């Protein structure tokens, strides 16, 4: 049976999203979430702290003050699964207390022990572990200063996918969580060159050998601009091409551009001339 990836729509509750679609007002964030669901999103990823290069530091209280009003409103209004994008244990706990389905953290190689402890307290919650060799946000000791002006590429002498797979395997083996609760994201755009990012997408099927659902996030990212020479809001079609290329090999695609991806997947299904069922995996039901 063919499978189509689930579509995770992105809701940025921040004024400085790199994609230009941030909404701080809770009702505006809810309206955007509802629009993404109408366009075909299966679940939503909600974040209140921009990790774009050069983004200003946001303290924990500010992150919570942005996130919780909107998240509470969404939990009362929406029936879809919700994930929260954060690296902070206290923020994760506050979100999980509201009954969300999981946490998406960009700090897969440097997840603090306190965050693992929080996740262990919520036995039905999932976590998306993203490969990122650059510890950016989880250090609670940090009190000021922006994110680095760029996400500098690391060197991957064995090939980027080999390093990503091996690094994520180590995180999984050291995790206190049951394997069924873990999803993996190769971390396109974080600590990788444009060539590395294209290599990850080309070889994305290799990550499934770890036995966990794979989540891919590529929409509007800067490596696409290296080819099409366009700014983030104009990279929709470039991102769609990458997402459709990877679609047969991933369980979920995280995107700003839900409608474009949903249409593309429908055409892919028509071309396959057979019903393509949505992917399914644990802990993704409302």
Q: Which domains does the chain have, with CATH numbers?
A: 3-135+148-278 (3.20.20.20)
Taking the alpha carbons at both ends of the chain, their separation in whole angstroms is: 24
pTM to 2 decimals? 0.90
| CB 101 within 8 Å of CB 81 | yes
Q: Is beta strand 215-217 parallel, antiparallel or unpaired with respect to 182-185?
A: unpaired
- Own/partner contacts of 164-168, CB < 8 Å, gap of 24 or more, are 164/131, 164/200, 164/207, 165/206, 165/207, 165/209, 165/210, 167/108, 167/109, 167/131, 167/133, 168/108, 168/129, 168/131, 168/207, 168/210
Strand, coil or helix: 182: strand
Tell me how far the alpha carbon of residue 48 is from its chain's centroid: 13
Report the pLDDT value the prediction gives residue 141, as an integer from 0 to 100.
41
Strand-pairing partners, residue 6, are 252
Report the pLDDT value the prediction gives residue 286, as an integer from 0 to 100.
38
Helices of type H across the chain: 26-39, 60-77, 89-97, 113-120, 160-174, 194-202, 222-228, 236-246, 258-272
Strand, coil or helix: 65: helix
Question: Residues in the chain with pLDDT < 50?
Answer: 1, 18-20, 137-146, 285-286
CA angle 128, 129, 131 (to 5 degrees): 140
How far, in Å, CA of 12 to CA of 198, rounded? Answer: 25
| CB 254 within 8 Å of CB 45 | yes
| CB 174 within 8 Å of CB 109 | no
Report the pLDDT value the prediction gives residue 273, as an integer from 0 to 100.
74
How far, in Å, CA of 205 to CA of 216, rounded? Answer: 11
Token reading at 36: 């993404």
Token reading at 213: 């659902």
| CB 16 within 8 Å of CB 55 | yes
Closest CA to 87 of 111, 71, 65: 111
């Amino acid at each position: 049976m063919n499978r189509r990836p689930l579509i995770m729509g992105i809701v940025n509750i921040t004024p400085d999203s790199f994609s230009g679609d941030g909404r701080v007002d809770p009702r505006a964030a809810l309206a955007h979430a509802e629009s993404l669901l109408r366009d075909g999103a299966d679940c939503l990823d909600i974040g209140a702290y921009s990790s774009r290069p050069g983004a200003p530091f946001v303290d924990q209280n500010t992150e919570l003050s942005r996130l919780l009003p909107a998240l509470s409103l969404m939990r009362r209004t929406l029936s879809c699964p919700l994930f929260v994008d954060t690296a902070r244990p206290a923020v994760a706990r506050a979100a999980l207390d509201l009954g969300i389905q999981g946490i998406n953290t960009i700090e897969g190689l440097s997840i603090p022990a306190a965050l693992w402890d929080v996740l262990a307290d919520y036995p039905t919650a999932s976590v998306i572990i993203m490969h990122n060799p650059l510890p950016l946000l989880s250090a609670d000791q940090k009190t000021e200063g922006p994110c680095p002006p760029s996400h500098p590429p690391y060197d991957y002498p064995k090939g980027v996918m080999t390093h990503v797979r091996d690094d994520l395997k180590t995180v999984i083996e050291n995790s206190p969580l049951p394997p069924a609760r873990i999803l993996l994201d190769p971390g396109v755009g974080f600590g990788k060159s444009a060539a590395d990012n294209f290599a990850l997408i080309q070889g994305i099927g290799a990550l499934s050998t770890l036995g966990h659902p794979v989540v891919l996030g590529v929409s509007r990212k800067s490596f696409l601009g290296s080819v099409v020479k366009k700014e983030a809001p104009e990279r929709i079609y470039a991102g769609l091409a990458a997402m459709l290329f990877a679609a047969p090999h991933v369980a979920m695609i995280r995107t700003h551009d839900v409608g474009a991806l949903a249409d593309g997947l429908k055409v892919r299904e028509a071309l396959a001339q057979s019903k393509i069922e949505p992917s399914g995996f644990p802990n993704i039901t409302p």
